[in-house]
Chains A and B, each alone.
Chain A
Amino acid sequence: MNLLTLIRKNLTRNKLRLTLNCFAIFIAFMLFGSLGAIKNAFESGVEVAAADRLMVVNKINFTQSLPLAYVNKIRSIEGVKHASWANWFGGYYQEPRNQLMTFAVDPESYFLVYDDLTIPEQELSNWLKDRQGILIGERIATARGWKVGDRIPVSSNIFSQENGSSTWEFNISGIFRPKNPQTDTSYTLIHYKYFMETQIWGGDWIGWVPLNTEDPALNEQVIKAIDSMFANSAAETETATEAQFSKAFIEQVGDIGFIIMSVVLSAFFTILLIVGNSMWQSIRERTNEIAVLKTIGFTAHKVFSMILAESFLLAFTGGLLGLLAAWALVIAIAPLTQSFLPALVMGKSVFFAGVVYILVLGFITGILPAWQAMKLNTIDALNRR
């Protein structure tokens, strides 16, 4: 009988206890995996933000507009590679509940700034030619089953057309895809000019200016140059990196990362108590056997590693199953959360963090019992019976 068999036999001697412990660990890691994926999905905007991309918004608040003339002034600033502009459309599809995030953008420059998106050459040139064309993100195309060539009505809960209707008809010219799968593509793009000419409020006003710099190292310099250029004007600007902008936006909802981490930590602490206590019990019940093992020549060191290995094996069995279940769960719920958490996937980072936590759990629950078994005085233990 080799050591591994012994460890396995020890672990499975009390099947009920093994099942209960495995189950508790399973639950903890399933929560960890799925909550980790949710946390990442919330923060994906920050994570996938391009390092060289900046956002220029009105200093009062990003919902206030800027004059269109700012774009050319910004383009002339040293260090700015490309600059584009966009407007919030407030779109929905058929029912106000079916929000369809839509931006009215400058078609010529948008993809120069958002160079982490790809679109087939042909589709892009079709869109440039068709003023009523709309580009849809891959996620939207998948979620709604829309195809290139479809004609769709998009309504706005803010704007209306001159004829009083608040619904515009668009032709789907193409589908844009992300280079990094975590990048959100659950939005659509329409021509700024077409939007401005058909809606009643008009005016050369834009929502914000996205731009990229020649080099991320120039970001600070460009931010200063832009904001000081428009200082003391009627529409002062506030420029920030895309990551800062996304982060501030998430913070508006609340400290979601903190809330999720608190839940995960309390789940882990609970499981640590339960499994640690149970490991402790199971070693105490085995005092005699351990004494016998030592008597027949097992070194203290071997006994120590044997018990530690047992707790690692337990943690891995429950933990890996839990992570697997989380992965399946995330796939199952992703279609349901499409509208508010588009980037919900359980990535590698969550999985590897999970494995690290499994190691930590195995170590903490095993170290004390293993230590005690190693220090066990054989004579005393055998005398005790």
Chain B
Amino acid sequence: MFAQIIAVIKMNLLSLPGRIGSSLTTLLAVAIVVTVLLAFMAMGEGFQKTMEGSGSDEVAIMLRGGSQAELNSGLEGDTLNIVSVAPGIAKNENGPIVSGELYVVVDGTKRSSQTEANLPLRGIGTAGFALRENIKLVEGRMFEPGKTEIIVGTSILSQFDGFELGKTLRFGTTEWTVVGVFDAGGSVFGSELLTDVRAVQTQFNRGNSYQSIRVKLEDEKALDKLKDYIANEPRLNLDVNTEKAYYSEQSKDMAILINMGWGLAIFMALGALAGALNTMYTSVESKAVEIATLRAIGYKTTAAFIGTLVESLVIAVLGGILGTLIAFLLFDGISTSTMGGSFTQVVFDFNVSANAFKNGIILAFFIGLVGGFFPALRAARLPVVLAFRS
């Protein structure tokens, strides 16, 4: 029995080159479907990877109650003082690690489209860097407190014009100088311009106000202590979260991209399925005499069935592998940017993950399975008498 199956599979596969045109179209069709799926998955997963790599579990971020995003939030200067003495905040030689922060949205020119896009010019407190351990200066020097100097993330340099080291930027009547470039390990912070919070407050008439307060937590229980303190302090109206949770929340919207990719790929797969069925029915027809002959000399129907099914699976899975390769070569690592939760651009890389590969091959396998099943049934039911005709 096993030998029979092997024999039929061998016959089918060896005869494939004879139907090369038809088999290739199905293979290509499956490859394109898989490429489309992987393109969307790479986009969605790439964005999620950036967002999830951004927040820290050991940092808490506080916004005005109900504001949801930093841009909507506004905090009085006093709030920072009250929060600074809260329990659960880690300390270093300069005291509690607390940073009052404020960003304004400024224009940058997107390289890909040459249109203007929103970028955050973020002012951070002196403890700002102790709260961002994944940031490393790679060129130039740090900005000096109080001066209109900025350092830019490498992601911004890759996607936007005009932020190179030494360049001068004009926002309103003030000129700002780029004095350094930092790498943020692929996180969303790489899509920011950083400066001293006092400079932003002064130059943009924000008085002594902040949008968010970031603090370093001393241990796992610190977040609850902090929340209790804030809930019981009538002068405070703040929403508290870990930074990690804050950024994961923002990556949720991008799940829609992955779902959209699946939706489109499944529709296209139905089209490709029509091609696969067509190819396999033709294949069975063209080998009808051979299959009937094998049956006449005692081969089982199962052998004819499995032989056809395997032929279809081989074509489809080869198409799937080709599709994943195309997707990997075309998309993996491509850098692009989109509007993120802070109403500013987030630069991220397309990421064709192992998970996407697996999904691509599974989709191809299913096209091959369904596309082969019905023609295989026909092959199995071919009347033996066909062998003796013509």
Contacts and interface: CB of A to CB of B under 8 A. Distances in A.
B278 A17 contact: yes
Nearest to A278: B278
A61 B118 contact: yes
A64 B173 CA distance: 14
Interface in B1-43: 21-22, 25-26, 28-29, 32-33, 35-36, 39
Nearest to B113: A251
Contacts of A277: 21-22, 25, 275, 278-279
Interface string B279-290: 101100000000
A91 to B, nearest CB: 11
B107 A61 contact: yes
Contacts of A278: 275, 278
A236 interface: yes
B295 to A, nearest CB: 22
B118 A253 contact: no
Most buried by A among B22, B117, B272, B278: B278
A248 B268 contact: no
Interface size class of B (residues with CB under 8 A): 35 or more
B270 A27 contact: yes
Most buried by A among B74, B106, B271: B271
A320 interface: no
Contact of B72 (A30, A157, A262, A276): A157
Interface of A: 16-17, 20-21, 23-24, 27-28, 30-31, 59-61, 63-64, 90, 96, 157-158, 166, 232-236, 247-248, 251-255, 262-263, 266-267, 269-271, 273-274, 276-278, 280-281
A17 B117 CA distance: 51
B274 A23 contact: yes
Interface string B320-348: 00000000000000001111000101000
Contacts of B173: 232-234
Interface in B222-277: 264, 267-268, 270-272, 274-275, 277
Contacts of A247: 115
A252 B68 CA distance: 21
Contacts of B36: 263, 266-267
Contact of A274 (B110, B275, B337): B275
A96 B267 contact: no
A321 to B, nearest CB: 14
B52 to A, nearest CB: 20
Nearest to B205: A234
Given A24-B274, A60-B171, A281-B282, A248 B118 contact: no
Contacts of B113: 251, 255
Contacts of A269: 32
Contact of A234 (B29, B112, B172): B172
A262 B268 CA distance: 13
B278 to A, nearest CB: 5
A31 B72 contact: no
A270 B106 contact: no
B298 interface: no
B216 to A, nearest CB: 27
A285 to B, nearest CB: 9
- Of the candidates B25, B337, B343, the one having the most CB atoms from chain A within 10 angstroms of its own CB is B25
B106 A24 contact: no
Interface of B: 21-22, 25-26, 28-29, 32-33, 35-36, 39, 66-69, 71-72, 74, 104-107, 110, 112-113, 115-118, 171-173, 204, 264, 267-268, 270-272, 274-275, 277-279, 281-282, 336-339, 343, 345
Contact of B66 (A27, A96, A233): A96
8 contacts: A90-B72, A96-B66, A157-B69, A251-B113, A255-B112, A273-B28, A274-B271, A277-B22
A270 B277 CA distance: 14
Contacts of A61: 104-107, 118
B66 A166 contact: yes
Nearest to A271: B271
B67 to A, nearest CB: 5
A258 to B, nearest CB: 10
Contacts of A262: 39
A274 B278 contact: yes
B338 A267 contact: no
A251 B110 contact: yes
A-B pairs with the 10 shortest C-beta distances?
A274-B275, A24-B274, A27-B271, A20-B274, A277-B25, A248-B115, A273-B25, A251-B115, A61-B105, A63-B105
A168 B345 CA distance: 31
Contact of A254 (B21, B74, B336, B343): B336
A147 B21 CA distance: 63
A144 B323 CA distance: 45
A23 B338 CA distance: 36
B271 A64 contact: no
A28 B275 contact: no
A21 B277 CA distance: 10
A96 B116 contact: no
Contact of A20 (B72, B264, B267, B278): B278
Contact of A157 (B22, B28, B39, B68): B68
B29 A270 contact: yes
A124 to B, nearest CB: 31
Contact of B25 (A157, A253, A274): A274
Given A60-B172, A157-B67, A232-B173, A251 B271 contact: no
Contacts of A248: 115-117
Given A24-B271, A270-B268, 16 more contacts: A20-B277, A23-B274, A27-B274, A28-B271, A60-B171, A96-B66, A157-B69, A247-B115, A254-B338, A267-B271, A271-B271, A273-B25, A274-B272, A274-B275, A277-B25, A278-B278
Nearest to A28: B271
Contacts of B69: 157
A17 B375 CA distance: 12
A60 B104 contact: yes
A252 B345 contact: yes
Nearest to B204: A64
B172 A235 contact: yes
